[in-house]
Amino acid sequence: MIPDVRTSYNRQFTPEQYQAFLEGIATDTGVTPSFRIAETPVFVPAALSSKLVQACEEIVEVLLRPDFKTITQDAIPPALKVPRENEHPHFIVIDFAVCKTATGELVPQLIELQGFPTMLAFQEVMARQFKTHFDIPDYLNNFFNGLDETTYYELLRDMIVGPYAPEEVILLEVKPEEQKTKIDFYSTEKSLGIPTVCLTELIQDGKKLYYLRNGVKTPVQRIYNRIIFDDLQKQSASLGEHVNLFQDLDVEWITHPNWFYRISKYIMPFIHSEYVPKSWFLHELPVIPADLENYVLKPLFSFAGQGVLIDVTQEDIDRIQDPENWILQHKVKYAPAIATPTGPAICEIRMIYIWQDGAARPMLVHNLARISKGKMIGVGFNSKDTWVGGSCCFFEQPA
């Protein structure tokens, strides 16, 4: 998206460089990625960088509302509430589509947001390997707020591990070896020293949790949570005996599971920004738009068993029995903004925030990108294409 950088990168690219880049990732993490990594990063021009940061900060202002917990009290399904919720999430990820205005100006449009961690460790590995194997201009940066590789991990270590011994803090997931994101688990273990533990390996004694480390019963003081609880609910019966995480347990959560629901598309109707598509709770919609072809219908909760309706009709709306669990959102049109040797591509940019205990507001630290040439964005799609997949951004700093 920075024309001269893009032209130079495409011209100098070789398949051998790309292969060496992938091998560098595998060597660094100790595992081969289980999803496709794109041949290129995303080069974000200063004007778009500025708009992305502005959009994020406008969303953060909503999270800082004194009544935020009140307006999101119905966001957490009653069956999925977990005790001991803290005052704010430790992680926030905000996903934007890159779009164009009628005059050709690149602008972000909010797609989704979550109070949940993303691939915090692996994204740094990927960016570093891009810089190692390709010519990335020095004035472009993958970090924000003055961070670098060293201070970024210091920040993560301080927030995730904190005052505890690393073996007393676990990355918790269900069947971690089967997850597509397992490369991040390996990177986290390497950078922070904390183990990855499957839910089925936890041992409960009263309100305390333990796991076996080299045969030794080891206490769990903190859980760096990577479990999505509605997915857990679906799988629970097939997991065999395991600890019930919905009970009151003597453990700290980084971040607490309830924030996954509080900070989600549920809050989109509360956000008023030129970079956030107009959204309404379906049961509060004042009038059904005549141009429904310009809207999408989204279920608030993924476990509802129904997906996003892209081509909305009046009949679709009439069929919905629980309108309070749906939002109608103005449709976002992705721009083919990335020129690749095999044709233009679209992309999403994920802005990654952390919120330390005691901090007045969250801080923007890093990013993630997804590049696609099809209708769907995500590392599970377009597997037959090239120059698509998971990636990262290098930002030109605003003037």
CA angle, residues 76, 204, 216, in degrees to nearest 5: 130
Q: Is the pLDDT of residue 282 over 50?
A: yes
- Strand order across the 279-281 sheet: 279-281, 326-330, 295-299
Report whether the peptide linkage leading into residue 255 is cis, meaning its omega lies within 30 degrees of zero.
yes
Residue 399 has a pLDDT of 63
- Alpha-carbon 319 to chain mean position: 31
Q: Is the pLDDT of residue 129 over 60?
A: yes
Q: Is the pLDDT of residue 383 over 80?
A: no
Q: Per residue in 192-202, pLDDT tens?
A: 999 999 999 99
- The answer for residues whose C-beta is within 8 angstroms of residue 109's C-beta and 6 or more apart is 96, 97, 99, 275, 276, 277, 332
Q: Per residue in 60-73, pLDDT tens?
A: 999 999 999 999 99
Q: What is the mean pLDDT of the chain?
A: 94
pTM of the model: 0.94
DSSP letter at 38 equals P
Q: Is the pLDDT of residue 303 over 80?
A: no
